[in-house]
Amino acid sequence: MTKKLAGKVALISGSGRGIGQAIALKLAAEGARVVVNDLDAGPANDIAARIRQAGGEAAVCTGDVAAADFGERFVKTALERFGGLDIIVNNAGFTWDSVIQKMSDEQWQTILDVHLTAPFRILRAASEPIRIAAKKEKEEGRAVHRKVVNVSSISGLFGNAGQVNYSAAKSALIGMTRTLAKEWGRYNVNVNCVAFGYIKTRMTQELSKDQVKPTTIEVAGRELPVGIQPEMIKAMERMIPLGRGGTPEEAADAVYLFCTPESNYISGQVVLASGGLFL
């Protein structure tokens, strides 16, 4: 069977864990050479090793996507290791929730930096290599389609109480998607967005019923609470027409759709991967 992404080079931010990990494994299984990213070297190296063990190719670019130099480093890794760039998936992120009257400037800015400024810098860094490649391909009489998939959220489409920072960033990312689709169409780049609903990851893990303190994860030196109360999960799943939350693999499948040749005439679109939930 022909692998649909054979020969393609894919950048996937936040691909050491969760949804990003599933995306990296999915695209690699379809033949893409993947640049894996995570804050920590351990998870990133583990996923790269899994890809190589399965017969694929992978490189690693660790670090905080919100760092000022990250976008340039990320793109440079793809160009130096694999000689090109075909797919960009802006997936990295986390939440730091609070109602607006309790939200600090740091909370607000940190989430905007990760979910909005980081994708902007990655795409800006990729713009010149893509322009040069597209110009050369046009002169040679070839049409090569490249793909950008930005990861948004149902919160970015409809808002969510306690997530004014996250909802604002994810909503703005949709605007970035539609604008870049217009700017990069002349380079044969399809720019689309997948907005996730409730996907079961460590960020949305079910808390035990007798758990007094929330589970936390460390992100850039901060201990942030994660997890959802069982009652809230049950309430959400009752609202989802398919009756359950999605898996990381199902989330990855939605991103994969926008990476395939079948999406070559689709651009500037947002697909809601939520099991049919519309808030």
DSSP class of 214: P
Scored b (16 or more CB within 10 A) or e, 160-182 reads: beebbbbbbbbbbbbebbeebbe
Kindly give, in sequence order, each residue whose CB lies less than 8 Å from that of residue 272, ignoring residues fewer than 6 positions away: 154, 157, 195, 197, 278
Q: Is 166 a catalytic residue?
A: yes
- Reduced to 3 states (helix: H, G, I; strand: E, B; else coil), residue 92 is coil
The one catalytic residue in 166, 187, 198, 256 is: 166
Question: What's the rounded Cα separation, in Å, for the pair 262 and 120?
Answer: 26
Distance CA 191, CA 5 (A): 17
Residues forming beta bridges with residue 34, ordered by sequence position: 10, 58
Residues with catalytic function = 166
